[in-house]
Amino acid sequence: MHIQDKVIVITGGASGLGLATALYLVQEKGAYVAIFDLNVEAGEKAVADIGAERAMFVKTDVSNEESVQTAVDAVVARFGAIHVCINGAAVPTAFKVLGKEGKAAPLARFAQTTAVNLNGVFNVMSKCAEQMANNEAEAGEERGVVINVSSGAAYEGQIGQSAYAATKAGIIGMNMPAARELGSIGVRVNAIAPGLFMTAMVASLDEKVLSVLKEQMEAPKRLGDMREFAHCCTFIIENAYVNGETVRLDAASRMRAK
C-alpha cells in the first residue's frame, strides 16, 4: 500500500515508539495520522510537533468499546477514511504469580493487563477494519493494513511478566486467523515483536543500567533506534505480500529470566 495521503491510526501514539512512528510516517511518507491515547497533554503536544494539518489526537481508552467507536468516528469525520491501524497501546505491568509470603496475585491485576494489551488490540483492530472495508481497493488488492505490536516477552518473558507476556503472545495468536478472515475484504494483519528500544524512558536510566541492557543485545550491541521501528512499520505497510507474519525486531537478543 502506498502511504502518501493515507490515514493511519496509532494507539499509544502520544509517546515512545508510537510517536516516533507517527512523526516518521508524516514527515517521510506524507501520511495523515490519528493518535489514540489517554494522555491528553502528550497527545496535544504530539499534534503540535507533527503539524495539525496532518495529525489529530483523540483521547481514547482502547479497552472501552464506546470510547474506541467515538474515536474511529472522529477520524472518519476529519480525514474521510482509515487505511492503516497500528496498535501500540499497552500497560507494562510487572507482578509475580505468587507475591509476598507466597500469596496468589489478585486476578484483577491480570485482567487489567489483558483489558488494555489484548482486548484493546482486538477492539481497535475490529472497528478500524470495519471502516477499511469501505475503502477502494488499491491495485485491486488491498483496502487496509493492521499492525499489532507484540513483544519479545511473548517468546521469552521474564519473571514477573506472566500477564504482560500472555497478552503479547495473544497478539501473535490473533495474527493468522485475523489475516485469513480479513484478507477476504483486502485487509492484511501483521505483528511486530520489538526488543529494547531507546525510548525517552529508557534513555533516562542510569548509564550503568543502560550498559547492562546494551550488553544483552547480540548484534548490533545497542538498543534499537525508534526510527528503525517506524521503518519496519513502513515496510509492512508498503509490501503487499507480507501477511499473517510476526517480525522480531530485536537484534537477535533474548532477554534473561530476570
Catalytic positions are 164
Provide the sign of the torsion angle of the four alpha carbons 153, 159, 164, 165, taken in this order.
Answer: positive
Longest dimension (CA), the chain: 61
| Continuous H helices in 152-199 | 153-156, 162-182
Amino acid letter for position 81: A
Alpha-carbon span 75 to 127, nearest angstrom: 12
C-alpha cell at 217: 543485545
Alpha-carbon span 148 to 150, nearest angstrom: 6
How many C-beta atoms surround the C-beta of residue 217 within 10 A? 17
First-to-last C-alpha distance (Å) of the chain: 40
Alpha-carbon span 15 to 21, nearest angstrom: 10
Alpha-carbon span 76 to 81, nearest angstrom: 5
Name the strand (E) or helix (H) holding 69: helix 65-79
